[in-house]
Amino acid sequence: MIRIPSLHRDDALLLSRCVYLGLIVLLFPLKSAYSVASLSAEHFHPPLGPFTLLEAFPAPWVIIVIEFATYALLALWVVGVGQWRVGALLSGLLIVTSGLTYSTGKIDHDFIILLCPFLLNLRGRWPETSLTFCLTVYFASSGLAKISWLSFDSQASLSWALTYFYGYGKSAPLLAWSLEHLPGWSWELFDQLTVWFELCVPLVILRAFRRWILLSIPLFHLTTVLLLGIDFSRLLLIYLPLILLFCVLPAHTSRVIPSRVRAILVTSCLLGLALCVAQGWLFGKSPQSLLPLERPGLLLFPILEGLVIVGLLARPKALSTKAPDPCESSLP
């Protein structure tokens, strides 16, 4: 039996914040709206929501203030200052930047990632409860949007693969091979499995299905990277904190992480954040990852699968216990 130490909740939350900021520094830099601030009103096409109240992009100095405040709040957040108030302000500014970035017409699905700083600063068991709920909504809404894939008259995944390969010139490790060798029925099977899996992820709230769904999520993402080159590795900003909060089982024990180690972790995160700021403000570069991996999911999703397996082996009952009761603690 593999043994891993029980973490105090404060230790788990500290590691979650460090993992979140560490992944941003190393692999998934924050989006910057400064590049679109100089565009004219003709290019301003905001998504549905509060940004439709604007008539054009804000002035560049407004973007600078927003981004400076974002980095300052990130520093306070990873240190643990301000608790849920800092988390709420940080998530709010991240959402503003994301909305401005996507006001050129492109839409991405990163809302849950932007909410993470706020959700991690909620009290009691609300961080893991709220993150799990948001993930189930994320997958279920994606499955509902693909409900037409259940038709046997066409293979939607094959259509996407052909579009990526011939239309966009994209490649994936198995994309060319799959287009040449996989029969039509296998693409139909992929359509069916994709939709039903995404619709079934909300069953993670039930004890009987929880471990199997958590084991399947990394394999699902790895398959989409291999076949289509679609990399959802940014969701690791959610998955890894959840592993720390759920699989490691924060217990009512004394803190495991020594204060010196905590100081080293926080200082490393702050230095990495300072380097990101220096790239943008001193060297005039847009935010860039320190580890330029073309498809991080090819490496990270197998690691995530291994972490889930280790967590199950170490605590076989951890993912089969009753789901956290939101009534156990109150919102801040």
pLDDT in tens, 129-150: 999 999 999 999 999 989 989 9
**What pLDDT, on the 0 to 100 scale, is given for residue 276?**
82
The closest alpha carbon to 237, from 135, 116, 56, 118, belongs to 116
Please calculate the CA angle 147-150-151 and round it to the nearest 5 degrees: 115
pLDDT band, very low/low/confident/very high, at 99 (cuts 50, 70, 90): confident
The closest alpha carbon to 12, from 319, 202, 265, 303, belongs to 265
- Contacts of range 308-311, beta carbons closer than 8 Å, 24 or more positions apart: 308/214, 308/215, 308/218, 308/243, 308/247, 309/215, 310/2, 310/4, 311/4, 311/243, 311/247, 311/248
| Residue 81 lies inside a defined structural domain of this protein | yes
**What pLDDT, on the 0 to 100 scale, is given for residue 209?**
87
The terminus-to-terminus CA distance of the chain in angstroms comes to 38
Whole-angstrom Cα distance, residue 269 to residue 72?
A: 13
Question: What is the share, in percent, of the chain residues with pLDDT greater than 90?
Answer: 34
> Per mean pLDDT, which of 4-8, 26-30, 72-76, 245-249 is the most reliable?
72-76
| Site of tokens 């593999």 | 2
Mean pLDDT, rounded, for 159-188: 87
The type of residue at 165 is F
The closest alpha carbon to 10, from 124, 145, 88, belongs to 124
- 286-306 burial by CB neighbour count: b if 16+ within 10 A, else e? ebeeeeeeebbbbebbeebbe
Whole-angstrom Cα distance, residue 248 to residue 239?
A: 13
**What pLDDT, on the 0 to 100 scale, is given for residue 326?**
38
Answer whether residue 192 shows pLDDT above 90.
Answer: yes
**What pLDDT, on the 0 to 100 scale, is given for residue 73?**
95
Domain that holds residue 169: 9-328
| Residue 32 lies inside a defined structural domain of this protein | yes
| Residue 241 lies inside a defined structural domain of this protein | yes
**What pLDDT, on the 0 to 100 scale, is given for residue 323?**
42
Mean pLDDT, rounded, for 62-88: 92
Tell me whether residue 54 is exposed, middle or buried, using C-beta atoms within 10 angstroms of its C-beta: 0 to 12, 13 to 18, 19 or more: middle
Mean pLDDT, rounded, for 299-303: 90
Q: Would you state the torsion angle of the CA atoms of residues 13, 18, 23, 28, taken in this order, to the nearest 10 degrees?
A: 90
**What pLDDT, on the 0 to 100 scale, is given for residue 31?**
82
Tell me whether residue 260 is exposed, middle or buried, using C-beta atoms within 10 angstroms of its C-beta: 0 to 12, 13 to 18, 19 or more: exposed
Q: What is the DSSP string of 216-248?
A: HHHHHHHHHHHHH----GGGHHHHHHHIIIIIS
**What pLDDT, on the 0 to 100 scale, is given for residue 208?**
83
| Residue 4 lies inside a defined structural domain of this protein | no
How many residues belong to the chain?
332
Answer whether residue 254 shows pLDDT above 80.
Answer: no
For 130, the token pair is: 């709220």
| Residue 1 lies inside a defined structural domain of this protein | no
Mean pLDDT, rounded, for 12-31: 91
DSSP 8-class letter at 316: T
DSSP 8-class letter at 152: T
Whole-angstrom Cα distance, residue 163 to residue 229?
A: 12
Whole-angstrom Cα distance, residue 19 to residue 8?
A: 16
| Residue 80 lies inside a defined structural domain of this protein | yes
Please calculate the CA angle 140-206-195 and round it to the nearest 5 degrees: 25
Answer whether residue 300 shows pLDDT above 60.
Answer: yes
pTM, two decimal places: 0.87
The type of residue at 196 is W
| Per-chain mean pLDDT for the chain | 83
Whole-angstrom Cα distance, residue 267 to residue 18?
A: 10
| Residue 3 lies inside a defined structural domain of this protein | no
Whole-angstrom Cα distance, residue 270 to residue 287?
A: 16
Question: What is the share, in percent, of the chain residues with pLDDT greater than 70?
Answer: 86
If one compares 77 and 171, the residue with the highest pLDDT of the two is 77
The closest alpha carbon to 113, from 131, 125, 97, belongs to 131
pLDDT tens-digit map of 256-295: 788 899 999 999 999 999 888 887 666 666 667 778 788 8
**What pLDDT, on the 0 to 100 scale, is given for residue 188?**
92
Structural domains of the chain, count = 1
Answer whether residue 328 shows pLDDT above 50.
Answer: no
pLDDT tens-digit map of 204-233: 888 788 888 989 999 999 999 998 888 899
**What pLDDT, on the 0 to 100 scale, is given for residue 235?**
92
| Residue 2 lies inside a defined structural domain of this protein | no
Answer whether residue 2 shows pLDDT above 80.
Answer: no
**What pLDDT, on the 0 to 100 scale, is given for residue 329?**
39
pLDDT band, very low/low/confident/very high, at 86 (cuts 50, 70, 90): very high
